[in-house]
Amino acid sequence: MNFSKSAPNGLNTITFFCALALGGNALPAQAQLHEKDQDETETCIFKALTQGPGDMTIDELKSRCGVEIPKMPEDASPTVKNGESVIAERIMREQLSSNSRSVITPHLRNYLMPVSYLKNPNSEPLREAYDLGEDAELDNLEAKFQISLKVPLAQETFIDSDAIFFGVTLKSFWQVYNHDYSAPFRETNYEPEVFWIAPVDWTFSTADFSLLAVGFSHQSNGRSQPLSRSWNRIYANFIWEHNRFVFSLKPWWRIPEDQKKDKLDPKGDDNPDIDDYMGHFEFTTAYRWDSYEASLMLRNNLREDNKGAVELGFTFPLWKRLRGYVQYFNGYGENLMDYNASVERIGVGVLLTDLL
């Protein structure tokens, strides 16, 4: 791993391109655009990113806006040199859009699934909390949506091209078709996090592009006892790309909490056995071809009882910037309320921002 002050692989190219497009001081004066041309170029790039197709490549952006890119670094991989790196494309979009006060940068997927079918809903926590009868059941049909955003707090703090972000993800499960109980939002999880991310040179691998993130995450459902669920984690995220496949290995360590003296005590560990079901890592891979994107997420506790989860995702063009989204989940921990209940769900909806 190389933590030198020069960015490895293709990120020099992306950084230089963004500096050129936005008139940064990283380029010599004679290479910078005139102020008027610079404004026109910036406007063109911003419109292309916000109104153009979501799978626009670097080469297509260059052609549309007439941007010249500096010479590639000699150590850049062929994938990056050919403008085919999906990680580099996403970094470029984020760096360009983050300069606009009218744009909030997406973090994870942002989607709304108005219809999802839950094969085996976990009704027991609600029965217990509200003293409902055994016949009280959640509907199999419900809506699910996720909002995930981030904002840069600092850049180039420790090495070139690194950044510190604050991110927040809200994931909600809405019993919108359950009129017997006034269509409640049965569970909403809130996950603020702070993380540092930087390009790294995994010299032992054949990765076309690689990143390392280290962060702190707090996840909670914001409920009072006995429905309160929460945990705090410190994590690392190893991200690399090869032949347009992107891989993420995210191990974590849960910060220990004191044991509760009473079940209804607001202080102490709400879910002391959550590691038994969620494990200590998450592996994700995604692949994009043309305008389509597929993803796979795996978790496992790596124990004899073999508890874990799998999530499959597929996105496709729908209408203008909207994309269709199909999601399948099977296992533990789809949300904090269901961390110790195995559920199976399939849903369809619309997606605003994708992984790649």
Binding-site positions for Ca(2+) read 182, 223, 228, 270
- What is the spatial distance between Cα 305 and Cα 331, in angstroms, rounded to a whole number? 13
Active site residue 210: no
Percentage helix, strand, coil for the chain under 3-state DSSP, each rounded to 5: 20, 40, 40
Pairing, β 163-174 against β 141-155: antiparallel
Active site residue 220: yes
Q: Which residues pair with 145 in a beta bridge?
A: 112, 172
Among 6, 97, 98, 218, the one annotated catalytic: 218
- Which residue from 85, 82, 110, 74 is spatially nearest to 239, judged by alpha carbons? 85
CB 210 within 8 A of CB 201: yes
CB 228 within 8 A of CB 221: yes
Two tokens, residue 315: 């996105």
Among 97, 220, 242, 342, the one annotated catalytic: 220
- Helix (H) or strand (E) holding 316, with range, is strand 308-319
| Strand boundaries in 107-262, DSSP class E | 110-118, 141-155, 163-174, 185-199, 209-220, 230-242, 245-254
- What is the spatial distance between Cα 58 and Cα 99, in angstroms, rounded to a whole number? 18
Q: How many CB atoms lie within 10 A of CB 71?
A: 9
Q: Which residues are part of a known binding site?
A: 182, 223, 228, 270
Pairing, β 209-220 against β 185-199: antiparallel
- What is the spatial distance between Cα 29 and Cα 274, in angstroms, rounded to a whole number? 56
Which parts of the chain fold into alpha helices (H)? 11-22, 35-51, 58-65, 78-81, 86-97, 124-130, 274-278
Two tokens, residue 118: 């839950």
- Per DSSP, the three-state class of 352 is strand
- Which residue from 91, 356, 96 is spatially nearest to 245, judged by alpha carbons? 356
Q: What residues are labeled active site?
A: 218, 220
